[in-house]
């Protein structure tokens, strides 16, 4: 197995182990004869110089990924970039980072306390995106972060791991629309993220996306274990551009709402 395949397999393994909905959805689709193609894997971090987007991207760059497009989410205070691999069968990577300088001093103080616990050797490892949480924190600090930014709370609780994988709907053979896949998922008991509508985007924006709400998972903080929204599953249908090639990027207004799949509820 190549180093790239090994990293992607490990990320997948840890993602499905933590989030029971992932295997359930896979089994439901496999039982219909579907083979699942992964459109992209998403990661989250803080824009602290030690662990920012560019640091988290390093292992992927070493494995042949190339930076593509940048995105900015004004209200959520996030920057993001997506990366593609020359091999078409390899999923895109989407990495976002919280702009700490636009957050409160209290949030910045707590995040500094987390980052200061990281061993310098950990951030240069080729498996950094799969290392998980590299710090301890109290449930109170988690709540403080999450109250200001759900995104900050998620990163603090889970660290470096896949935030979501994404089923490429184009590659499914028994669903002719994202809507029909959504209906199938709802009929099987899954709850979808309805922020901004069940389907974000349209054929006109060249990308339609939907997602489940994140599984609630127990997270151990230094003083208590509490239930926190973990990871979700995303579904994407891409459309051809006027020149005939498939749209390969992301749509900021849609992604903005997809982020909310991990909000506490």
Per-residue interface string for the shown chain with Ni ion, residues 85-114, x marking contact by CB under 5 A: ------------------------------
First-to-final CA distance of the chain: 40
Q: Which is nearer to Ni ion, 84 or 234 (CB)?
A: 234
Kindly state the helix (H) or strand (E) to which residue 176 belongs, with its residue range: none
The angle that helices 105-115 and 150-158 make with each other, rounded to 10 degrees, is 10
The interface region with Ni ion, picked from 63-71, 137-145, 228-236, 238-246 by CB under 5 A, is 228-236
Kindly state the helix (H) or strand (E) to which residue 73 belongs, with its residue range: strand 66-73
The residue written with tokens 């899954």 in the block is 190
Per-residue interface string for the shown chain with Ni ion, residues 180-219, x marking contact by CB under 5 A: ----------------------------------------
Q: What is the C-alpha to C-alpha distance for residues 161 and 16, in angstroms, rounded to an integer?
A: 11
Q: Which is nearer to Ni ion, 149 or 254 (CB)?
A: 254
Q: Which of residues 25-64 bind Ni ion (CB under 5 A)?
A: 42
Closest approach, Cβ 220 to Ni ion, in A, equals 27
Q: What is the C-alpha to C-alpha distance for residues 57 and 53, in angstroms, rounded to an integer?
A: 6
Q: What is the C-alpha to C-alpha distance for residues 138 and 100, in angstroms, rounded to an integer?
A: 20
Closest approach, Cβ 234 to Ni ion, in A, equals 5
Q: What is the C-alpha to C-alpha distance for residues 162 and 12, in angstroms, rounded to an integer?
A: 8
Q: Which is nearer to Ni ion, 63 or 255 (CB)?
A: 255
DSSP three-state, residue 94: strand
The alpha carbon of residue 168 and the mean position of all alpha carbons in its chain are separated, in whole angstroms, by 15
3-state helix, strand, coil split of the chain in percent (to 5) is 40, 25, 35
Give the number of residues in contact with Ni ion, rule: CB under 5 A.
2
260 near Ni ion, rule: CB under 5 A: no
Q: Which is nearer to Ni ion, 68 or 115 (CB)?
A: 68
Among 97, 215, 234, 256, binds Ni ion (CB under 5 A): 234
Per-residue interface string for the shown chain with Ni ion, residues 121-150, x marking contact by CB under 5 A: ------------------------------
Q: Which is nearer to Ni ion, 215 or 234 (CB)?
A: 234
Residues that bind Ni ion (CB under 5 A): 42, 234
């Amino acid at each position: 197995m190549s180093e790239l395949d090994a990293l992607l397999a490990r990320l997948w393994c840890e993602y499905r182990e933590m989030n029971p909905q992932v295997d359930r959805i896979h089994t439901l689709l496999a039982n219909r004869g579907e083979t699942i193609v992964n459109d992209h894997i998403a990661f989250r971090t803080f824009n602290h110089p030690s662990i920012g987007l560019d640091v988290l991207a390093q292992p992927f760059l070493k494995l042949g990924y190339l930076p593509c497009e940048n995105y900015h989410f004004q209200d959520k205070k996030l920057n993001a970039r997506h990366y593609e691999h020359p091999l078409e069968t390899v999923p895109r990577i989407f990495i976002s980072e919280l702009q700490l300088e636009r957050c409160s001093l209290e949030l910045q103080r707590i995040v500094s306390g987390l980052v200061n616990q990281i061993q310098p050797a950990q951030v240069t490892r080729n498996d950094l995106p799969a290392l998980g949480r590299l710090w301890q924190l109290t449930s109170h600090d988690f709540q403080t972060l999450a109250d200001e930014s759900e995104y900050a709370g998620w990163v603090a609780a889970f660290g470096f791991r896949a935030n979501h994988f994404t089923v490429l709907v184009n590659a499914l053979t028994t669903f002719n629309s994202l809507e029909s896949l959504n209906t199938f998922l709802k009929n099987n008991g899954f709850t979808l993220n309805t922020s901004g509508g069940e389907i974000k985007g349209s054929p006109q924006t060249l990308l339609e996306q939907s997602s489940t709400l994140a599984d609630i998972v127990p997270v151990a903080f230094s003083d208590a274990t509490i239930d926190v929204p973990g990871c979700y599953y995303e579904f994407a249908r891409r459309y051809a551009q006027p020149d005939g090639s498939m749209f390969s990027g992301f749509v900021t207004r849609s992604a903005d709402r997809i982020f909310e799949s991990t909000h506490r509820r």
